[in-house]
Amino acid sequence: MKLTVLVDNNALIDRYLLAEPAVSFLLEEDGKKVLFDVGYSDAFIRNATKLSVGLLDVDYVALSHSHLDHTWGLVPLVRMYTEAMIEGFSVTKAKLVTHPSTFISRQGEGIPELGSLLTKDTLSRFFDVSLSNEPVWLTDQLVFLGEIERSNWFEAKDPIGTLTVNENSEPDFVQEDSALAYKSETGLVIITGCSHSGICNIVEQARKICDTEKVRDIIGGFHLLNPRQQQLQGTLDYLRKLKPEAVHASHCTDLASKIALSKVVSLKEVGSGLILDY
């Protein structure tokens, strides 16, 4: 599998690419192209152009969850597809895979919308929309994990804003938060968006679904932004025991948490333009 970081909070220091507080990865595996999250703006498209990465023939768009830094790039993506169609280019109708709750409206304090700007109905005109809280295999080796079981005591305990269900507001625990897992010959590669469901919960779900214990790499957001001490310590204890070959913590992982992670795992740099082969 080839993984290209189309956008991240940082850009690699030797690449003239855009960065923004968001995530978008392109995965190429078994002849399929999977776009995982689409960032906040058109930065992932502009970076893809600089990297000579085509996005008109993507087979899957997988969304980790609803938040603006992972879904608002759908608007420029749909615009790009529309303009390509007008110019007579061939555009693959990708399958869009995500949790059923991804398109529920979400609010923050004083913010009228934190979730997707486009509805399922609008997106279904451009994508084959598949909503699932169960795992979905995108290729023989690559799986969308579905709804994550939140089994440990130290993660995913705090809501973020509210969501609207049947005209009622309730605390938002980002229940839809999911991730991808790839079964490489030397262990699992786990690809996350923000890990609101807990990075350790995600790893455990991936190991269970893939029936594989060894973890080769974890790349993506760890949701460690000024975390509670119990969350950080629980994560460190878990990863110390897990012993992954590498960890590419990015996006919503603050510097203090990265420094702490570097003491228990082999922590690697991440940024727009990074290309990894597994």
Q: What is the pLDDT of residue 191?
A: 98
- In terms of phi and psi (left: phi > 0; alpha: psi -120 to 50; beta: otherwise), the region of 117 is alpha
* C-alpha separations of 49 from 6, 13, 31, 73 in Å: 10, 18, 20, 15
**Edge-to-edge strand ranges of the sheet holding 142-144:** 136-137, 142-144, 179-184, 187-192, 215-221, 246-250
**Does CATH place domain 2-277 in 3.40.630.30?**
no
Show contacts of 253-262: CB within 8 Å, 24+ apart.
Answer: 253/221, 253/222, 253/223, 253/224, 253/225, 254/224, 254/225, 254/226, 256/226, 257/222, 257/224, 257/225, 257/227, 257/232, 260/232, 260/236, 261/222, 261/224, 261/235, 261/236
Q: How many CB atoms neighbour CB 156 within 10 A?
A: 23
Q: Give CA torsion, residues 108, 113, 114, 116, to 10 deg.
A: 160
Give the count of beta carbons closer than 10 Å to the beta carbon of residue 41: 18
pLDDT lower than 70: segments of the chain:
none
pLDDT of residue 108: 85
Q: What is the mean pLDDT of the chain?
A: 96
